[in-house]
């Protein structure tokens, strides 16, 4: 039986570090992914993710369970990302992983994905990353939380501290900027199966 | 709520795009999209952007964060562990100025209790503690004793000088050299002492020599192991490079031989 976040939090509050480490194991990758997509640097995203869990551990006695543990973690991580961006005073830069080896990746992918598809996918990833870089922080964060973490509009509004309508506006404006950027890069056709 | 969907209602359009609308709104938007080509194209394009977003993945980083308490055993030694200190000690919550004032106060009370007395005089600085009568300055600081003013040592010195002169004269008269005569008992003891010192010195030098030789041997072994490791790493790196080259060639061959579709 897998313990829920709430159960692990309760045990962690009694001083059980192992329970908290289970929470870390469960949430480290989403938090890292969030930080990476918001600030765009691998090493800094790792630092932010680690600092998120450290702060969460220290602040655990103050966590009263008003929000979900994951929302609480997201809030800490987003605050750290915002601090990072302010401190560095630089636009988030999205780095492609340095050690990408297309040949090895092709070997890992097997016969399903051809090298051409793989190269196209990496090119698409690069273009998307560049487009995300163009967005203001609020729009980028809203899109990241919605697209990659599946938060509801209301949850994003709570995290960003803004009205629900503002979240929808940010999403619409962000997606529109990305649309123009993709079109400017010659990307015009998608399999639009995600539209509801 | 209006019955017709407006093209300017982007909030509802986004909600429709993410499937966070109620059934009534969904029906309104669906109906509108069937009639409005512009909105239909926009929804299609935005859905395409969402598809494009799925292509952006963060690097597959190895994380493995582990929380350990400071001074405790890490739960997973192979993972990078972030040491978390316990709660801050209580004195960290006291302002620095308050800590300084408290320290001075404690020092002053301690000095008063111990009856510390610091005296400075011609004999130098004298410090005494306790409630007993302080010792005489001459005892406390013997180096600071006042210089002797009487000249009682002069006759003794004169007598000593006289005795030495007489002994020298007697030696010249006998014509013998004491140094060449049979060593007395005192000389034997000195000789034994010198031999012992020489033996001890030789033993010490031998020990130091052995220590240095051992050290040198150990250094050479460490250096040899480091060199071997470096060579092995260089060989391993070369092997990896060769494997990559081989893989590249294989893929090129495979790609060139695969029929175009």
Q: Is B240 on the interface with A (CB under 8 A)?
A: no
Q: Report the residue of chain B nearest A118, measured CA to CA.
A: B55
A156 chain-B contacts, CB cut-off 8 A: none
A49 chain-B contacts, CB cut-off 8 A: 63, 65
d(CA B10, CA A165): 10
d(CA A50, CA A75): 14
Q: A175, B46: Cβ pair inside 8 Å?
A: yes
A53 chain-B contacts, CB cut-off 8 A: 65, 67, 82
Q: Spell out the per-residue pLDDT of chain B, length 261, in tens.
A: 456 888 999 999 999 999 999 999 999 999 999 999 999 999 999 999 999 998 888 888 788 888 776 655 444 333 444 545 444 444 555 566 677 777 787 877 776 766 666 666 666 656 666 555 544 444 444 444 444 455 666 777 788 888 888 888 876 665 444 444 445 566 788 888 888 888 888 888 888 888 888 888 888 888 888 888 888 888 877 877 888 888 888 888 777 777 655
| Cα–Cα separations (whole angstroms), residue B254 to A36, A101, A119, B179, B240 | 36, 18, 17, 104, 21
d(CA B155, CA A153): 113
A 77-96 residues with CB below 8 A of B?
A: none
B 55-114 residues with CB below 8 A of A?
A: 55-59, 61, 63-69, 72, 75-76, 82, 84
3-class secondary structure per residue, chain B? CCCCCCCCCHHHHHHHHCCCCCHHHHHHHHHHHHHCHHHHHHHHHHHHHHHHHCCCCCCCCCCCCEEEECCCCCCCCCCCEEEECCCCCHHHHCCHHHHHHHHHHHHHHHHHHHCCEEEEECCEEEEECCCCCCCCHHHHCHHHCCCCCCCCHHHHHHHHHHHHHHHHHHHHHHCCCHHHCCCCHHHHHHHHHHHHHHHHHHHHHHHHHHHHHHHHHHHHHHHHHHHHHHHHHHHHHHHHHHHHHHHHHHHHHHHHHCCCC
Q: Is A106 on the interface with B (CB under 8 A)?
A: yes
C-beta neighbour count of A58 within 10 angstroms: 14
B44 chain-A contacts, CB cut-off 8 A: 192, 195
A182 chain-B contacts, CB cut-off 8 A: 48-49, 52
Contact call for residues B63 and A51 (beta carbons, < 8 A): no
Q: Is A103 on the interface with B (CB under 8 A)?
A: yes
pLDDT at A136: 92
d(CA A121, CA B56): 9
d(CA A81, CA A160): 13
């Amino acid at each position: 039986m897998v313990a829920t976040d709430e159960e692990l939090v309760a045990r962690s509050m009694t001083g059980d570090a192992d329970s908290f480490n289970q929470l870390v194991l469960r949430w480290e990758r989403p938090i890292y992914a969030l930080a990476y997509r918001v600030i765009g640097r691998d090493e800094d995203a790792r630092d932010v993710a680690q600092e998120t869990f450290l702060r969460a551990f220290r602040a655990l006695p103050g966590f009263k369970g008003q929000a979900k543990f994951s929302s609480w973690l997201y809030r800490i991580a987003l605050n750290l990302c915002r601090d990072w961006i302010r401190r560095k005073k630089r636009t988030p830069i999205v780095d492609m992983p340095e050690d990408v080896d297309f040949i090895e990746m092709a070997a890992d992918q097997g016969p399903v994905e051809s090298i051409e598809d793989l190269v196209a996918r990496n090119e698409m990833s690069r273009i998307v990353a560049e487009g995300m870089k163009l967005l203001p922080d609020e729009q980028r964060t809203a899109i990241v939380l919605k697209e990659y973490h599946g938060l509801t509009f209301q949850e994003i509004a709570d995290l960003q501290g803004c009205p629900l309508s503002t979240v929808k506006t940010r999403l619409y404006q962000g997606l529109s900027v990305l649309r123009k950027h993709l079109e400017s890069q010659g990307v015009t056709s998608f399999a639009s199966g995600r539209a509801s | 709520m209006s019955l017709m969907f407006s093209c300017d209602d982007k909030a509802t359009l986004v909600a429709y795009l993410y499937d966070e609308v109620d059934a009534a709104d969904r029906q309104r938007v669906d109906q509108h999209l069937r009639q409005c080509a512009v909105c239909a194209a926009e929804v299609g394009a935005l859905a395409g952007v969402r598809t494009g977003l799925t292509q952006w993945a963060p690097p597959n980083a190895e994380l493995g964060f582990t929380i350990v308490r400071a001074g405790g055993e890490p739960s997973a030694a192979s993972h990078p562990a972030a040491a978390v200190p316990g709660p801050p000690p209580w004195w960290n919550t006291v302002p620095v100025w308050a800590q300084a004032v408290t320290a001075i106060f404690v020092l002053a009370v301690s000095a008063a209790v111990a009856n510390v007395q610091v005296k400075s005089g011609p004999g130098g600085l004298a410090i005494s503690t306790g409630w007993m009568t302080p010792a005489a300055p001459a005892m406390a600081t013997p180096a600071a004793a006042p210089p002797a003013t009487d000249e009682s040592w002069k006759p003794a010195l004169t007598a000593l000088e006289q005795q030495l002169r007489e002994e020298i004269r007697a030696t010249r008269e006998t014509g013998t050299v004491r140094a060449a005569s049979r060593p007395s008992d005192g000389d034997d003891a000195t000789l034994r002492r010198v031999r012992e010192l020489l033996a001890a010195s030789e033993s010490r030098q031998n020990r130091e020599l052995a220590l240095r030789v051992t050290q040198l041997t150990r250094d050479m072994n460490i250096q040899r192991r480091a060199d071997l490791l470096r060579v092995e790493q260089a060989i391993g790196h070369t092997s990896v490079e060769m494997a990559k080259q081989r893989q590249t060639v294989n893929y090129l061959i495979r790609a060139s031989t695969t029929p175009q579709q």
